[in-house]
Amino acid sequence: MTQRTEVKSYLPPIDTNHIIKIISDFIKTRLEESKRSGIIVGLSGGIDSAVVASLCVKALNSDRVYGVFFPSSTTPPSDFKDVELFCKHLNIALTVVDIQKLIDVFSSIISTPEDSRLMEWANLKPRLRQTIWYYYANKLNCLVCGGGNKSEIMIGYFTKYGDAAVDLLPLGDIYKTQIYQLGKALKIPQKILNKAPSAGLWKDQTDEREIGMTYVELDQILFGLERFYTDEEIVNKLKIPLSRVKKVKSLIYRSEHKRRGPIIFKMGIRTPTIDWRIPLVEPGEY
């Protein structure tokens, strides 16, 4: 199994205790507003979903948090062991559904053999997972809580209407390298902390290899762009090649459609999602 290499990040350290507290409050508040019974979390055996599940347990206690794991033929067997042990660590219920059977049926229906390295097949897996995920969410009267982080959201490293199709994204404004700080504070098992990030969409796939740079490099570039540094300032401050800065900017611009809902043509005086926005709190509550 590929191990993650510990590399120093130049992002300022976060106050982990404070962040854990406010995210836990966020989860609890969103659940109360929704009138749902609990939270269902998709687990992969990786750091993001482990941190999210831990935060949900802190917010709600283990009896209101449910884990689901959806392996396929390209999922490393070690991931299931990690997920199973982690659920025991948190004392949460776990449901496992092998989605390979669905993929095989889909392949048969369209008379096309599966090729997991092709984007249409790679994206199919997260979309099938979300369908089953929401089935269980409806059955258990739960909100679906995703593990997407700021680094991946900003460059579009997720599947549209797949792993991004959730009700809550507690880590959506936190960089990947900062999530490791939260993981240590939450006492996530060392094996998960050390694991190389991977979506498991094809054999031996790793996120950093697919992105083309380490998360440390990516986060430093995004951090600079967030603070309106010029390309030259990022290169000079962080000693990162200009070509990588340009690549990240290109990924951001090309993936903007993935961070938006369907674009609505504006016709009326007030239009859904544009200028007719309803507060989360019901009128009688404020």
The structural domains of the chain, with segments of one domain joined by +, span 16-259
Question: Whose CA is closest to 23, among 190, 133, 168?
Answer: 168
Question: Whose CA is closest to 251, among 189, 158, 132?
Answer: 158
Angstrom distance (rounded) from CA 61 to CA 171: 19
8 Å CB contact between 27 and 170: yes
What is the structure's pLDDT at 49?
97
Question: Whose CA is closest to 58, among 84, 104, 12, 27?
Answer: 27
Q: Which pTM was predicted?
A: 0.91
Output the CATH code of domain 16-259. 3.40.50.620
What is the structure's pLDDT at 178?
96
What is the structure's pLDDT at 286?
47
What is the structure's pLDDT at 1?
46
What is the structure's pLDDT at 283?
64
What is the structure's pLDDT at 70?
96
Question: Whose CA is closest to 45, among 4, 13, 77, 91?
Answer: 77
Distance of CA 123 to the CA centre of its chain: 14
What is the structure's pLDDT at 4?
55
- Write out residues in the chain with pLDDT < 50, as ranges: 1, 7, 286
